[in-house]
Structure 1
Amino acid sequence: MGLGASAPAGIPESARLVVPVLAASGGSGRSTVACLLADALARLGDTVVADLSARLCSPWPAWTAGTRGGGGLGALPPDRPLSRAEIRDAAAVRQAAEGEWSVLTDGREWSTAPLPLPLPADPAAWYQLAAAGGWQLFVADTAHPVAHDIATAHCAGLPGLTRGWCALPYTVPVLCAQPTAGGVQLLHQAVQVLRHCGGVPLERTVVAFSAASDGALPAVARAAAATLAPHTAAVVHLPHDPDIRAHGLAARPSRIRDRTAEAARDLASAVLSTAHGAFGNPLPPAPRPAPIPWVV
Protein backbone atom coordinates (compact mmCIF):
# COMPACT_ATOMS: atom_id res chain seq x y z
CA MET A 1 0.00 0.00 0.00
CA GLY A 2 1.26 3.52 -0.82
CA LEU A 3 1.61 6.14 1.82
CA GLY A 4 -1.28 8.08 0.33
CA ALA A 5 -3.63 5.94 2.41
CA SER A 6 -1.80 6.21 5.71
CA ALA A 7 1.13 8.58 6.02
CA PRO A 8 3.64 7.85 8.81
CA ALA A 9 4.27 10.27 11.63
CA GLY A 10 7.28 12.55 11.39
CA ILE A 11 10.56 11.89 13.15
CA PRO A 12 11.40 13.58 16.49
CA GLU A 13 13.01 17.00 16.32
CA SER A 14 16.06 15.65 18.15
CA ALA A 15 16.61 12.80 15.66
CA ARG A 16 18.60 12.78 12.42
CA LEU A 17 18.25 10.10 9.73
CA VAL A 18 20.95 9.76 7.05
CA VAL A 19 20.03 8.32 3.64
CA PRO A 20 22.98 7.93 1.26
CA VAL A 21 21.63 7.27 -2.25
CA LEU A 22 24.12 4.95 -3.95
CA ALA A 23 24.52 3.27 -7.35
CA ALA A 24 26.81 0.74 -8.95
CA SER A 25 27.31 2.96 -12.01
CA GLY A 26 26.13 6.11 -13.73
CA GLY A 27 22.77 6.02 -15.47
CA SER A 28 21.09 4.24 -12.57
CA GLY A 29 18.64 7.05 -11.82
CA ARG A 30 20.41 7.93 -8.58
CA SER A 31 19.78 11.69 -8.64
CA THR A 32 16.17 11.19 -9.74
CA VAL A 33 15.64 8.77 -6.85
CA ALA A 34 17.27 11.22 -4.41
CA CYS A 35 15.00 14.03 -5.60
CA LEU A 36 11.77 12.01 -5.45
CA LEU A 37 12.77 10.57 -2.07
CA ALA A 38 13.44 14.01 -0.60
CA ASP A 39 10.09 15.21 -1.90
CA ALA A 40 8.38 12.33 -0.08
CA LEU A 41 10.46 12.68 3.10
CA ALA A 42 9.69 16.39 3.43
CA ARG A 43 6.37 15.57 5.12
CA LEU A 44 8.25 13.72 7.87
CA GLY A 45 10.76 16.36 8.91
CA ASP A 46 13.19 19.10 7.87
CA THR A 47 14.93 17.57 4.83
CA VAL A 48 18.07 18.43 2.86
CA VAL A 49 19.80 16.86 -0.14
CA ALA A 50 23.57 17.21 -0.45
CA ASP A 51 24.78 17.15 -4.06
CA LEU A 52 28.16 15.42 -4.06
CA SER A 53 28.73 15.50 -7.83
CA ALA A 54 31.17 17.82 -9.54
CA ARG A 55 29.37 20.98 -10.65
CA LEU A 56 29.52 20.30 -14.40
CA CYS A 57 28.35 16.70 -13.94
CA SER A 58 25.35 17.43 -11.73
CA PRO A 59 21.68 17.93 -12.63
CA TRP A 60 20.97 19.76 -9.37
CA PRO A 61 21.95 23.30 -10.50
CA ALA A 62 19.33 23.06 -13.27
CA TRP A 63 16.77 21.47 -10.94
CA THR A 64 17.16 24.30 -8.41
CA ALA A 65 17.38 27.21 -10.86
CA GLY A 66 14.91 29.92 -9.94
CA THR A 67 14.10 28.48 -6.52
CA ARG A 68 14.06 30.51 -3.32
CA GLY A 69 17.35 30.97 -1.48
CA GLY A 70 20.32 29.11 -2.77
CA GLY A 71 23.51 31.14 -2.50
CA GLY A 72 25.00 27.69 -2.98
CA LEU A 73 28.03 25.93 -1.58
CA GLY A 74 30.21 28.59 -3.15
CA ALA A 75 28.62 31.20 -0.87
CA LEU A 76 29.99 29.53 2.27
CA PRO A 77 33.01 31.46 3.59
CA PRO A 78 36.15 29.29 3.48
CA ASP A 79 38.17 31.08 6.14
CA ARG A 80 36.07 30.84 9.31
CA PRO A 81 33.55 28.59 11.08
CA LEU A 82 30.05 28.55 9.61
CA SER A 83 26.87 29.54 11.40
CA ARG A 84 23.54 27.76 11.03
CA ALA A 85 22.07 30.80 9.30
CA GLU A 86 24.87 30.85 6.70
CA ILE A 87 24.44 27.17 5.95
CA ARG A 88 20.64 27.45 5.65
CA ASP A 89 20.92 30.55 3.47
CA ALA A 90 23.26 28.71 1.10
CA ALA A 91 20.67 26.01 0.42
CA ALA A 92 18.16 26.22 -2.40
CA VAL A 93 14.56 25.55 -1.32
CA ARG A 94 12.26 23.34 -3.40
CA GLN A 95 8.54 23.01 -2.95
CA ALA A 96 7.27 19.51 -2.20
CA ALA A 97 3.80 18.05 -2.55
CA GLU A 98 3.58 18.66 1.21
CA GLY A 99 5.96 21.28 2.55
CA GLU A 100 9.42 22.07 1.21
CA TRP A 101 13.00 20.80 1.37
CA SER A 102 16.51 22.12 0.85
CA VAL A 103 19.38 21.37 -1.55
CA LEU A 104 23.07 22.04 -0.96
CA THR A 105 24.59 22.35 -4.43
CA ASP A 106 26.73 24.72 -6.48
CA GLY A 107 24.48 26.51 -8.95
CA ARG A 108 26.97 29.00 -10.33
CA GLU A 109 27.72 29.37 -14.05
CA TRP A 110 30.14 26.88 -15.60
CA SER A 111 32.76 29.60 -16.13
CA THR A 112 32.85 30.57 -12.44
CA ALA A 113 36.07 29.84 -10.56
CA PRO A 114 36.18 26.60 -8.52
CA LEU A 115 34.58 26.48 -5.10
CA PRO A 116 36.43 28.57 -2.51
CA LEU A 117 35.36 26.11 0.18
CA PRO A 118 37.51 22.95 0.16
CA LEU A 119 34.67 20.45 0.19
CA PRO A 120 35.88 17.20 1.76
CA ALA A 121 35.25 13.68 0.50
CA ASP A 122 34.81 12.48 4.10
CA PRO A 123 31.12 11.62 4.71
CA ALA A 124 31.52 12.69 8.35
CA ALA A 125 32.20 16.25 7.21
CA TRP A 126 29.00 16.33 5.17
CA TYR A 127 27.15 14.94 8.17
CA GLN A 128 28.57 17.76 10.28
CA LEU A 129 27.38 20.30 7.70
CA ALA A 130 23.84 18.87 7.77
CA ALA A 131 23.90 18.74 11.57
CA ALA A 132 25.09 22.34 11.83
CA GLY A 133 22.33 23.32 9.43
CA GLY A 134 19.77 21.73 11.73
CA TRP A 135 18.24 19.29 9.22
CA GLN A 136 16.57 16.10 10.47
CA LEU A 137 16.58 14.07 7.25
CA PHE A 138 19.85 14.12 5.32
CA VAL A 139 19.77 12.63 1.80
CA ALA A 140 23.21 12.36 0.18
CA ASP A 141 23.22 12.11 -3.62
CA THR A 142 26.58 10.37 -3.84
CA ALA A 143 28.72 10.28 -6.97
CA HIS A 144 31.01 7.27 -6.55
CA PRO A 145 30.45 3.76 -8.04
CA VAL A 146 29.72 1.52 -5.06
CA ALA A 147 31.31 -1.78 -6.10
CA HIS A 148 34.50 -0.13 -7.35
CA ASP A 149 34.79 1.94 -4.17
CA ILE A 150 34.27 -1.03 -1.86
CA ALA A 151 36.64 -3.34 -3.75
CA THR A 152 39.37 -0.72 -4.10
CA ALA A 153 39.16 0.26 -0.44
CA HIS A 154 39.16 -3.40 0.63
CA CYS A 155 42.34 -4.11 -1.34
CA ALA A 156 44.02 -0.99 0.06
CA GLY A 157 42.92 -1.67 3.64
CA LEU A 158 40.99 1.60 3.77
CA PRO A 159 37.37 2.25 4.81
CA GLY A 160 36.25 3.82 1.52
CA LEU A 161 33.41 6.25 0.86
CA THR A 162 30.59 3.70 0.91
CA ARG A 163 31.61 2.34 4.31
CA GLY A 164 32.08 5.89 5.54
CA TRP A 165 28.51 6.78 4.65
CA CYS A 166 27.07 3.58 6.09
CA ALA A 167 29.01 4.05 9.35
CA LEU A 168 27.31 7.37 10.12
CA PRO A 169 24.73 7.30 12.94
CA TYR A 170 21.24 6.14 12.00
CA THR A 171 21.91 5.46 8.31
CA VAL A 172 19.64 3.65 5.84
CA PRO A 173 21.34 3.32 2.42
CA VAL A 174 19.32 3.30 -0.81
CA LEU A 175 20.94 1.35 -3.67
CA CYS A 176 19.68 2.33 -7.15
CA ALA A 177 19.59 0.32 -10.36
CA GLN A 178 17.87 0.34 -13.72
CA PRO A 179 15.42 -2.60 -14.11
CA THR A 180 17.17 -3.85 -17.25
CA ALA A 181 19.45 -6.82 -17.92
CA GLY A 182 22.51 -4.58 -17.73
CA GLY A 183 21.28 -2.72 -14.66
CA VAL A 184 20.45 -5.94 -12.83
CA GLN A 185 23.85 -7.40 -13.70
CA LEU A 186 25.60 -4.37 -12.22
CA LEU A 187 23.36 -4.52 -9.15
CA HIS A 188 24.13 -8.22 -8.57
CA GLN A 189 27.84 -7.52 -8.99
CA ALA A 190 27.64 -4.71 -6.43
CA VAL A 191 25.77 -6.92 -3.96
CA GLN A 192 28.36 -9.70 -4.38
CA VAL A 193 31.16 -7.23 -3.66
CA LEU A 194 29.31 -5.90 -0.60
CA ARG A 195 28.80 -9.42 0.74
CA HIS A 196 32.41 -10.42 0.17
CA CYS A 197 34.07 -7.27 1.51
CA GLY A 198 31.58 -6.47 4.29
CA GLY A 199 31.14 -3.17 6.02
CA VAL A 200 27.84 -2.34 4.32
CA PRO A 201 24.58 -3.28 6.09
CA LEU A 202 22.63 -5.06 3.35
CA GLU A 203 19.96 -5.98 5.89
CA ARG A 204 19.07 -2.28 6.22
CA THR A 205 19.66 -1.33 2.59
CA VAL A 206 16.66 -0.43 0.44
CA VAL A 207 16.95 -1.26 -3.28
CA ALA A 208 15.25 1.14 -5.71
CA PHE A 209 14.61 0.13 -9.32
CA SER A 210 14.18 3.32 -11.36
CA ALA A 211 12.57 2.56 -14.73
CA ALA A 212 13.61 4.48 -17.86
CA SER A 213 10.76 3.19 -20.02
CA ASP A 214 7.06 2.46 -19.67
CA GLY A 215 5.54 -0.93 -18.98
CA ALA A 216 5.56 -3.58 -16.29
CA LEU A 217 8.72 -4.44 -14.36
CA PRO A 218 10.75 -6.75 -16.66
CA ALA A 219 11.11 -10.41 -15.73
CA VAL A 220 14.83 -10.00 -15.06
CA ALA A 221 14.08 -7.25 -12.53
CA ARG A 222 11.26 -9.23 -10.90
CA ALA A 223 13.64 -12.18 -10.51
CA ALA A 224 16.30 -9.89 -9.04
CA ALA A 225 13.78 -8.42 -6.60
CA ALA A 226 12.78 -11.90 -5.45
CA THR A 227 16.44 -12.86 -4.99
CA LEU A 228 17.33 -9.69 -3.10
CA ALA A 229 14.25 -9.53 -0.87
CA PRO A 230 15.55 -11.97 1.80
CA HIS A 231 18.89 -10.14 2.06
CA THR A 232 17.83 -6.47 1.94
CA ALA A 233 15.36 -4.33 3.86
CA ALA A 234 13.03 -3.71 0.90
CA VAL A 235 12.87 -3.52 -2.89
CA VAL A 236 10.87 -0.62 -4.38
CA HIS A 237 9.98 0.04 -8.04
CA LEU A 238 9.84 3.65 -9.24
CA PRO A 239 7.91 3.63 -12.55
CA HIS A 240 8.83 5.53 -15.69
CA ASP A 241 7.41 9.05 -15.70
CA PRO A 242 7.28 10.66 -19.17
CA ASP A 243 6.91 14.14 -17.68
CA ILE A 244 10.16 13.76 -15.74
CA ARG A 245 11.89 12.46 -18.86
CA ALA A 246 10.57 15.37 -20.93
CA HIS A 247 10.91 18.22 -18.45
CA GLY A 248 13.36 16.97 -15.83
CA LEU A 249 12.89 17.48 -12.12
CA ALA A 250 12.95 21.24 -12.34
CA ALA A 251 9.21 20.78 -12.85
CA ARG A 252 6.71 21.62 -10.13
CA PRO A 253 5.55 18.72 -7.92
CA SER A 254 2.15 18.92 -9.62
CA ARG A 255 3.75 17.67 -12.86
CA ILE A 256 4.88 14.44 -11.22
CA ARG A 257 2.39 11.68 -11.95
CA ASP A 258 0.33 10.20 -9.14
CA ARG A 259 1.86 6.73 -9.48
CA THR A 260 5.37 8.20 -9.38
CA ALA A 261 4.55 10.19 -6.25
CA GLU A 262 2.99 7.11 -4.65
CA ALA A 263 6.08 5.02 -5.43
CA ALA A 264 8.27 7.75 -3.91
CA ARG A 265 6.13 7.70 -0.77
CA ASP A 266 6.50 3.91 -0.67
CA LEU A 267 10.27 4.36 -0.87
CA ALA A 268 10.20 6.91 1.96
CA SER A 269 8.03 4.56 4.01
CA ALA A 270 10.48 1.70 3.41
CA VAL A 271 13.39 3.88 4.54
CA LEU A 272 11.58 5.01 7.69
CA SER A 273 10.34 1.50 8.55
CA THR A 274 13.87 0.17 8.11
CA ALA A 275 15.23 2.90 10.40
CA HIS A 276 12.61 2.12 13.04
CA GLY A 277 13.38 -1.60 12.85
CA ALA A 278 17.12 -1.04 13.14
CA PHE A 279 17.32 1.84 15.59
CA GLY A 280 13.98 2.04 17.40
CA ASN A 281 10.65 3.83 17.11
CA PRO A 282 10.78 6.73 17.73
CA LEU A 283 14.31 7.30 16.48
CA PRO A 284 16.81 8.15 19.26
CA PRO A 285 18.29 11.64 19.55
CA ALA A 286 21.10 12.27 17.10
CA PRO A 287 24.62 12.37 18.54
CA ARG A 288 26.48 15.66 18.38
CA PRO A 289 29.18 15.17 15.73
CA ALA A 290 32.78 16.10 16.44
CA PRO A 291 33.53 19.65 15.29
CA ILE A 292 35.23 20.20 11.94
CA PRO A 293 37.25 23.43 11.43
CA TRP A 294 35.00 25.03 8.80
CA VAL A 295 31.71 24.14 10.52
CA VAL A 296 30.54 25.19 14.00
Structure 2
Amino acid sequence: MGLGLGRGEPASERIPESARLVVPVMAAGGGSGRSTVACLLADALARLGDTVVADLSARLCSPWPAWTAGAQGGGGLGALPPDRPLSRAEIRDAAAVRPAAEGRWSVLTDGREWSAAPLPLPADPAAWYQLAAAGGWQVLVADTAHPVALDITAADWAGLPGLTRGWCALPYAVPVLCAQSTAGGVHRLQQAVEVLRHCEGMPLQRTVVAFSAASDGRLPAVARAAATMLAPHTAAVVHLPHDADIRTHGLAARPSRIRGRTAGAARGLAAAVLATAREAFGDPLPAAPQPMPAPPPLPSPSPAV
Protein backbone atom coordinates (compact mmCIF):
# COMPACT_ATOMS: atom_id res chain seq x y z
CA MET A 1 0.00 0.00 0.00
CA GLY A 2 1.21 3.47 -0.76
CA LEU A 3 1.11 6.60 1.35
CA GLY A 4 -2.11 8.26 2.33
CA LEU A 5 -4.88 7.28 4.69
CA GLY A 6 -4.46 3.53 4.70
CA ARG A 7 -7.18 1.28 3.33
CA GLY A 8 -9.96 3.83 3.30
CA GLU A 9 -12.11 4.91 6.20
CA PRO A 10 -12.70 2.43 9.03
CA ALA A 11 -15.72 0.18 8.65
CA SER A 12 -18.73 1.64 10.44
CA GLU A 13 -19.61 -1.61 12.23
CA ARG A 14 -18.03 -2.34 15.58
CA ILE A 15 -15.92 -5.43 16.06
CA PRO A 16 -17.83 -8.34 17.64
CA GLU A 17 -18.23 -8.31 21.42
CA SER A 18 -16.36 -11.61 21.70
CA ALA A 19 -13.41 -10.47 19.56
CA ARG A 20 -10.17 -8.94 20.79
CA LEU A 21 -7.78 -6.79 18.75
CA VAL A 22 -4.23 -6.19 20.03
CA VAL A 23 -2.21 -3.34 18.53
CA PRO A 24 1.36 -3.18 19.87
CA VAL A 25 2.77 0.20 18.84
CA MET A 26 6.53 -0.28 18.53
CA ALA A 27 9.63 1.51 17.30
CA ALA A 28 13.31 0.95 16.69
CA GLY A 29 14.24 3.62 19.24
CA GLY A 30 13.22 6.83 20.96
CA GLY A 31 11.97 9.94 19.17
CA SER A 32 9.80 7.92 16.79
CA GLY A 33 6.45 9.50 17.71
CA ARG A 34 5.35 6.17 19.17
CA SER A 35 3.21 7.52 22.03
CA THR A 36 1.59 10.11 19.76
CA VAL A 37 0.71 7.38 17.26
CA ALA A 38 -0.70 5.21 20.06
CA CYS A 39 -2.87 8.10 21.28
CA LEU A 40 -4.21 9.04 17.84
CA LEU A 41 -4.81 5.39 17.01
CA ALA A 42 -6.75 4.75 20.23
CA ASP A 43 -8.91 7.79 19.53
CA ALA A 44 -9.74 6.44 16.06
CA LEU A 45 -10.27 2.82 17.18
CA ALA A 46 -12.63 3.83 20.00
CA ARG A 47 -15.51 4.03 17.52
CA LEU A 48 -15.00 0.35 16.63
CA GLY A 49 -14.77 -1.22 20.09
CA ASP A 50 -14.16 -0.59 23.78
CA THR A 51 -10.50 0.55 23.72
CA VAL A 52 -7.70 0.83 26.27
CA VAL A 53 -4.11 2.04 25.99
CA ALA A 54 -1.55 0.24 28.15
CA ASP A 55 1.42 2.47 28.96
CA LEU A 56 4.46 0.21 29.32
CA SER A 57 7.02 2.94 30.01
CA ALA A 58 8.37 3.74 33.46
CA ARG A 59 6.58 6.65 35.16
CA LEU A 60 9.33 9.24 34.66
CA CYS A 61 9.90 8.25 31.00
CA SER A 62 6.27 8.42 29.89
CA PRO A 63 4.10 11.28 28.59
CA TRP A 64 0.86 9.51 29.55
CA PRO A 65 0.61 10.66 33.19
CA ALA A 66 0.68 14.29 31.97
CA TRP A 67 -1.67 13.55 29.08
CA THR A 68 -4.23 11.98 31.44
CA ALA A 69 -3.90 14.50 34.29
CA GLY A 70 -7.38 15.74 35.14
CA ALA A 71 -9.08 13.00 33.11
CA GLN A 72 -12.08 11.25 34.58
CA GLY A 73 -11.28 8.37 36.97
CA GLY A 74 -7.91 6.72 37.10
CA GLY A 75 -6.40 5.30 40.24
CA GLY A 76 -3.67 4.11 37.88
CA LEU A 77 -1.60 0.96 37.67
CA GLY A 78 -0.44 1.51 41.22
CA ALA A 79 -4.00 0.83 42.40
CA LEU A 80 -3.94 -2.73 41.03
CA PRO A 81 -2.32 -5.10 43.56
CA PRO A 82 -0.23 -7.70 41.71
CA ASP A 83 -0.62 -10.34 44.42
CA ARG A 84 -4.37 -11.04 44.26
CA PRO A 85 -7.12 -11.55 41.66
CA LEU A 86 -8.81 -8.37 40.42
CA SER A 87 -12.45 -7.79 39.59
CA ARG A 88 -13.52 -6.12 36.34
CA ALA A 89 -14.72 -3.09 38.29
CA GLU A 90 -11.34 -2.69 40.03
CA ILE A 91 -9.47 -2.86 36.73
CA ARG A 92 -11.71 -0.37 34.97
CA ASP A 93 -11.74 2.01 37.94
CA ALA A 94 -7.93 2.18 37.74
CA ALA A 95 -8.02 3.49 34.16
CA ALA A 96 -8.18 7.15 33.20
CA VAL A 97 -10.95 7.91 30.72
CA ARG A 98 -10.39 10.23 27.76
CA PRO A 99 -13.02 11.67 25.43
CA ALA A 100 -12.77 10.66 21.78
CA ALA A 101 -14.17 12.15 18.61
CA GLU A 102 -16.84 9.45 18.95
CA GLY A 103 -17.25 8.04 22.46
CA ARG A 104 -14.34 7.60 24.83
CA TRP A 105 -11.40 5.33 25.59
CA SER A 106 -9.29 4.34 28.58
CA VAL A 107 -5.63 4.54 29.63
CA LEU A 108 -3.79 2.33 32.12
CA THR A 109 -0.74 4.28 33.26
CA ASP A 110 1.17 5.02 36.46
CA GLY A 111 -0.15 8.40 37.49
CA ARG A 112 1.48 8.64 40.92
CA GLU A 113 3.72 11.47 42.07
CA TRP A 114 7.25 11.52 40.69
CA SER A 115 8.67 10.76 44.14
CA ALA A 116 6.80 7.45 44.47
CA ALA A 117 8.79 4.22 44.39
CA PRO A 118 9.18 2.83 40.85
CA LEU A 119 6.33 0.51 39.93
CA PRO A 120 7.44 -2.97 38.78
CA LEU A 121 5.51 -3.44 35.53
CA PRO A 122 5.12 -6.93 34.02
CA ALA A 123 7.32 -7.59 31.01
CA ASP A 124 5.26 -10.48 29.60
CA PRO A 125 2.87 -9.23 26.89
CA ALA A 126 0.39 -11.95 27.90
CA ALA A 127 0.02 -10.28 31.32
CA TRP A 128 -1.14 -7.05 29.65
CA TYR A 129 -3.49 -8.97 27.38
CA GLN A 130 -4.98 -10.72 30.38
CA LEU A 131 -5.40 -7.42 32.25
CA ALA A 132 -7.15 -5.77 29.30
CA ALA A 133 -9.35 -8.79 28.62
CA ALA A 134 -10.31 -9.16 32.28
CA GLY A 135 -11.18 -5.47 32.24
CA GLY A 136 -13.60 -6.11 29.39
CA TRP A 137 -11.86 -4.02 26.73
CA GLN A 138 -12.07 -5.27 23.15
CA VAL A 139 -9.13 -3.30 21.73
CA LEU A 140 -5.74 -3.13 23.46
CA VAL A 141 -3.30 -0.52 22.15
CA ALA A 142 0.07 -1.15 23.80
CA ASP A 143 2.48 1.78 23.90
CA THR A 144 5.57 -0.40 24.18
CA ALA A 145 8.96 0.78 25.43
CA HIS A 146 11.46 -1.70 23.97
CA PRO A 147 13.61 -1.09 20.84
CA VAL A 148 12.40 -3.64 18.29
CA ALA A 149 15.59 -4.60 16.45
CA LEU A 150 17.66 -4.84 19.64
CA ASP A 151 14.99 -6.94 21.35
CA ILE A 152 14.74 -9.44 18.48
CA THR A 153 18.50 -9.76 18.06
CA ALA A 154 19.21 -10.10 21.78
CA ALA A 155 16.39 -12.63 22.22
CA ASP A 156 17.63 -14.76 19.32
CA TRP A 157 21.18 -14.86 20.68
CA ALA A 158 19.83 -15.81 24.10
CA GLY A 159 17.48 -18.45 22.69
CA LEU A 160 14.43 -16.62 24.08
CA PRO A 161 11.19 -15.51 22.40
CA GLY A 162 11.61 -11.80 23.25
CA LEU A 163 9.03 -9.07 23.75
CA THR A 164 8.39 -8.36 20.07
CA ARG A 165 7.53 -11.98 19.34
CA GLY A 166 5.42 -12.11 22.50
CA TRP A 167 3.30 -9.17 21.39
CA CYS A 168 2.96 -10.41 17.82
CA ALA A 169 1.78 -13.84 19.03
CA LEU A 170 -1.21 -12.50 20.96
CA PRO A 171 -4.75 -12.91 19.58
CA TYR A 172 -5.33 -11.01 17.31
CA ALA A 173 -2.26 -8.80 16.99
CA VAL A 174 -1.50 -6.23 14.28
CA PRO A 175 1.84 -4.54 15.07
CA VAL A 176 2.31 -0.86 14.20
CA LEU A 177 5.95 0.13 13.59
CA CYS A 178 6.61 3.87 14.00
CA ALA A 179 9.28 6.17 12.63
CA GLN A 180 9.90 9.86 12.09
CA SER A 181 10.19 10.78 8.41
CA THR A 182 13.77 12.00 8.80
CA ALA A 183 16.98 10.43 7.53
CA GLY A 184 17.81 9.08 10.99
CA GLY A 185 14.28 7.83 11.64
CA VAL A 186 14.08 6.12 8.26
CA HIS A 187 17.48 4.47 8.76
CA ARG A 188 16.45 3.02 12.14
CA LEU A 189 13.14 1.83 10.67
CA GLN A 190 14.84 0.13 7.70
CA GLN A 191 17.26 -1.60 10.06
CA ALA A 192 14.37 -2.88 12.18
CA VAL A 193 12.51 -4.10 9.10
CA GLU A 194 15.62 -5.91 7.87
CA VAL A 195 15.82 -7.71 11.22
CA LEU A 196 12.12 -8.61 11.00
CA ARG A 197 12.57 -9.96 7.46
CA HIS A 198 15.40 -12.29 8.41
CA CYS A 199 14.02 -13.64 11.68
CA GLU A 200 11.75 -16.65 11.49
CA GLY A 201 8.17 -16.21 12.57
CA MET A 202 8.04 -12.40 12.58
CA PRO A 203 4.78 -11.20 10.94
CA LEU A 204 6.10 -8.41 8.72
CA GLN A 205 3.24 -8.90 6.24
CA ARG A 206 0.87 -8.23 9.15
CA THR A 207 2.72 -5.08 10.23
CA VAL A 208 1.53 -1.52 9.54
CA VAL A 209 4.18 1.20 9.23
CA ALA A 210 3.34 4.72 10.47
CA PHE A 211 5.55 7.61 9.35
CA SER A 212 5.19 10.78 11.47
CA ALA A 213 6.13 13.94 9.59
CA ALA A 214 8.69 16.13 11.35
CA SER A 215 7.58 19.29 9.52
CA ASP A 216 4.91 20.64 7.19
CA GLY A 217 5.09 20.04 3.49
CA ARG A 218 5.72 17.07 1.28
CA LEU A 219 7.14 13.88 2.76
CA PRO A 220 10.95 13.94 2.38
CA ALA A 221 12.45 11.98 -0.49
CA VAL A 222 14.18 9.55 1.89
CA ALA A 223 10.83 8.67 3.49
CA ARG A 224 9.08 8.33 0.12
CA ALA A 225 11.81 5.97 -1.05
CA ALA A 226 11.51 3.95 2.15
CA ALA A 227 7.73 3.73 1.73
CA THR A 228 8.16 2.39 -1.79
CA MET A 229 10.62 -0.22 -0.53
CA LEU A 230 8.39 -1.23 2.41
CA ALA A 231 5.08 -1.45 0.55
CA PRO A 232 5.58 -4.99 -0.87
CA HIS A 233 6.72 -6.38 2.49
CA THR A 234 4.25 -4.83 4.94
CA ALA A 235 0.48 -4.63 5.30
CA ALA A 236 0.33 -0.85 4.88
CA VAL A 237 2.39 2.32 4.99
CA VAL A 238 0.55 5.33 6.42
CA HIS A 239 1.68 8.96 6.64
CA LEU A 240 0.70 11.04 9.69
CA PRO A 241 1.08 14.75 8.92
CA HIS A 242 2.93 17.26 11.05
CA ASP A 243 0.65 18.85 13.65
CA ALA A 244 2.21 21.97 15.17
CA ASP A 245 -0.28 22.07 18.05
CA ILE A 246 0.52 18.52 19.11
CA ARG A 247 4.22 19.30 18.82
CA THR A 248 3.77 22.37 21.06
CA HIS A 249 1.20 21.21 23.60
CA GLY A 250 1.33 17.41 23.53
CA LEU A 251 -1.82 15.32 23.67
CA ALA A 252 -3.56 16.31 26.86
CA ALA A 253 -7.23 15.35 27.05
CA ARG A 254 -8.39 17.98 24.54
CA PRO A 255 -9.48 16.22 21.34
CA SER A 256 -10.65 19.51 19.82
CA ARG A 257 -6.98 20.49 19.45
CA ILE A 258 -6.29 17.72 16.93
CA ARG A 259 -6.40 19.11 13.40
CA GLY A 260 -8.85 17.66 10.93
CA ARG A 261 -6.19 16.26 8.62
CA THR A 262 -4.39 14.67 11.60
CA ALA A 263 -7.63 13.05 12.77
CA GLY A 264 -8.32 11.88 9.22
CA ALA A 265 -4.87 10.29 8.96
CA ALA A 266 -5.44 8.57 12.32
CA ARG A 267 -8.72 7.15 11.03
CA GLY A 268 -6.85 5.91 7.97
CA LEU A 269 -4.29 4.22 10.22
CA ALA A 270 -7.10 2.57 12.20
CA ALA A 271 -8.67 1.43 8.92
CA ALA A 272 -5.37 -0.15 7.86
CA VAL A 273 -5.05 -1.95 11.19
CA LEU A 274 -8.60 -3.28 11.08
CA ALA A 275 -8.36 -4.34 7.44
CA THR A 276 -5.09 -6.14 8.17
CA ALA A 277 -6.64 -7.94 11.14
CA ARG A 278 -9.63 -9.07 9.11
CA GLU A 279 -7.46 -10.22 6.22
CA ALA A 280 -5.17 -12.17 8.54
CA PHE A 281 -7.68 -13.64 11.00
CA GLY A 282 -11.13 -13.51 9.39
CA ASP A 283 -14.06 -11.17 8.87
CA PRO A 284 -15.72 -10.80 11.27
CA LEU A 285 -12.88 -11.25 13.74
CA PRO A 286 -13.30 -14.57 15.58
CA ALA A 287 -13.83 -14.88 19.31
CA ALA A 288 -10.65 -14.64 21.35
CA PRO A 289 -9.58 -16.11 24.71
CA GLN A 290 -11.02 -14.06 27.55
CA PRO A 291 -9.59 -14.61 31.04
CA MET A 292 -12.25 -14.83 33.69
CA PRO A 293 -12.20 -11.78 35.99
CA ALA A 294 -12.35 -12.32 39.72
CA PRO A 295 -15.88 -12.20 41.17
CA PRO A 296 -16.81 -9.15 43.24
CA PRO A 297 -16.04 -9.56 46.95
CA LEU A 298 -18.81 -10.93 49.14
CA PRO A 299 -20.33 -8.49 51.63
CA SER A 300 -18.98 -8.79 55.14
CA PRO A 301 -21.27 -10.70 57.47
CA SER A 302 -23.26 -8.57 59.88
CA PRO A 303 -21.98 -8.73 63.44
CA ALA A 304 -23.97 -10.92 65.74
CA VAL A 305 -26.32 -9.06 68.01
The TM-score normalised by the length of structure 2 is 0.92
For 1:86 and 1:208, locate their aligned partners in 2 and report how far apart those are by CA, in whole Å.
34
Match of 1:240 among 239, 242, 248: 242
Please, what is the CA RMSD of the aligned residues? 1.7
Residue 232 of structure 2 is matched in structure 1 by 230
Contact 2:134 2:293 in 1 (8 A): no
Amino acid across the alignment from 2:18: S
Residue 87 of structure 2 is matched in structure 1 by 83
For 2:217 and 2:267, locate their aligned partners in 1 and report how far apart those are by CA, in whole Å.
20
Give the 3 Å change call, closer, same or farther, for CA 6–234 of structure 1 in structure 2. closer
Superposition misfits of 4+ residues, deviation over 2 angstroms = 1-8, 288-292
Match of 2:207 among 191, 205, 208: 205
For 1:4 and 1:175, locate their aligned partners in 2 and report how far apart those are by CA, in whole Å.
19
Percent of matched pairs sharing the same residue:
83
For 1:291 and 1:87, locate their aligned partners in 2 and report how far apart those are by CA, in whole Å.
9
Amino acid across the alignment from 2:17: E
Q: Which has the larger radius of gyration?
A: 2
For 2:192 and 2:78, locate their aligned partners in 1 and report how far apart those are by CA, in whole Å.
34
Pair 1:41-2:42 in alignment: no
Amino acid across the alignment from 2:147: P
Residue 183 of structure 1 is matched in structure 2 by 185
Pair 1:99-2:134 in alignment: no
Pair 1:272-2:295 in alignment: no
Pair 1:263-2:262 in alignment: no
For 1:290 and 1:199, locate their aligned partners in 2 and report how far apart those are by CA, in whole Å.
29
Equivalenced residues, count: 290
Amino acid across the alignment from 2:44: A
Q: SS of the residue aligned with 1:243?
A: helix
Contact 1:48 1:135 in 2 (8 A): yes
Residue 145 of structure 2 is matched in structure 1 by 143
Q: CA deviation at 1:98?
A: 0.6
Amino acid across the alignment from 1:93: V
Contact 1:8 1:269 in 2 (8 A): no
For 2:70 and 2:51, locate their aligned partners in 1 and report how far apart those are by CA, in whole Å.
19
Amino acid across the alignment from 1:97: A
Residue 78 of structure 2 is matched in structure 1 by 74
Runs of at least 5 residues in structure 1 that lack an aligned partner in the other structure:
none
Q: SS of the residue aligned with 1:49?
A: strand
The TM-score normalised by the length of structure 1 is 0.94
Amino acid across the alignment from 2:245: D
Contact 1:128 1:291 in 2 (8 A): no
Give the 3 Å change call, closer, same or farther, for CA 127–56 of structure 1 in structure 2. same
